[in-house]
Structure formats: C-alpha cells, structure tokens
Amino acid sequence: MQQKPCSRTNKIAAVMKNKGVKTYSAYMSFPSDTGESSYIEEYTFWGYSELLDFVNNSEFDIIHCSNTPDVLVNLLMHSNKKVIHDCHDVRTLEKRDVHHLEKFLEYLANRQAGGCLYPTEQLRDIIIHRYGTDIEKTLVVGNYPLNSFSRIKKYQKHKASLIFPQNFRFTIYSI
C-alpha cells in the first residue's frame, strides 16, 4: 500500500514474487511504473474508507505499507491485518518545517505498526532513539539493486571535455 508505489516497494515486491509470494499493489494516486509488473494485480482506491474496507475483507496475511506520508500506515493499523511500516523517507529528518501532524503520524507509525523496515541501521537507530520503537519489531532491508541489473551491459567511461571558442564568455546567475 502506498500513495504511488516507489522503486523500493517495487523491488521488495519483485523479490517476494521471485520467492513465490503472491504480491498485490494498492495505491491512492498512480500505479506502479515498472515495465514488468512485480504484482499479480494492482488496485486503485479513491477514498480511505474504501481502502480500509478492502483490506479488512481481503485474504491478505500482511500489509506492507511504505511511508511518506504516514497517513496510510496509520489508517491500516486500524484494519484486521498486520501492518509492516516501511520507513525509508523520514519527513522530520528531511524538512525543517514539519507540521506537528506529520510528526505525530510518523511517531504513531513507528511505534504502533506490527513491524518496521528501515534501509540502514543508522536510520533505524535514530528512529528507535527518537520514538522508542521496539528494536525487536525492526528489520534493516537495504536499498540494493536487484540481481536483474547485473545482466545490463556495462560501458567503459570516457572523459568528455567542453571546447569553447577563444572569446566565449558566459555568466552564471543564481536565483
């Protein structure tokens, strides 16, 4: 579940699907933009109550929900399913002016979800220190490229240089 499936969500789904797990995508804005879908089926939702009803009436065992914003994680924690919070974009670390509601939703998601995934140990440790998240409910899953990327042909890098005419002048403006 995500507003729009991101590359991390798609990679996790691809790995799970490769291991024989049936994966589905539910989103609120746009579908996954992967060429070959990692999902058996994708669902679009236009309202929170529709999404919550769908999850409650589904046969899913676990809901993987990515953050930013943490609204969906907090909504789905009220479902009858176990919700895993994939916290890989921490708003309070990225922005200076974070609305108190965003801070509160981030706090709840990291404290109350059935489990939490983090891309690095450092980020997990910051969240544990900040919100008191139970370390036993956490797992670090790095952002690594899929093995399928290893089949891509690698090209040798070439140095490029720009050649300007002798009297060429340019000015750089900053706004």
Q: What is the pLDDT of residues 60-81, one digit of tens each?
A: 999 998 877 788 999 999 999 9
Q: What is the pLDDT of residues 124-147, one digit of tens each?
A: 999 999 999 999 999 998 887 766
| Number of residues assigned to the chain | 175
Compute CA distances 125 → 38, 87, 130, 140, 163, whole Å: 30, 12, 8, 10, 49
Note the CATH number of domain 7-151: 3.40.50.2000
pLDDT at 172: 56
Q: What is the pLDDT of residues 1-53, one digit of tens each?
A: 777 777 788 888 888 888 899 988 888 776 666 545 788 888 888 889 999 99
pLDDT at 9: 83
Q: What is the pLDDT of residues 144-164, one digit of tens each?
A: 776 655 555 556 665 555 555
**126 phi and psi, to 5 degrees?**
-65, -45
Place 165 in a pLDDT band, splitting at 50, 70 and 90: low
Which segments of 85-144 does DSSP mark as H helices, in order?
91-94, 100-112, 121-131
pTM of the model: 0.76
**DSSP, res 154:** P
Tokens representing 123 are 């980020």
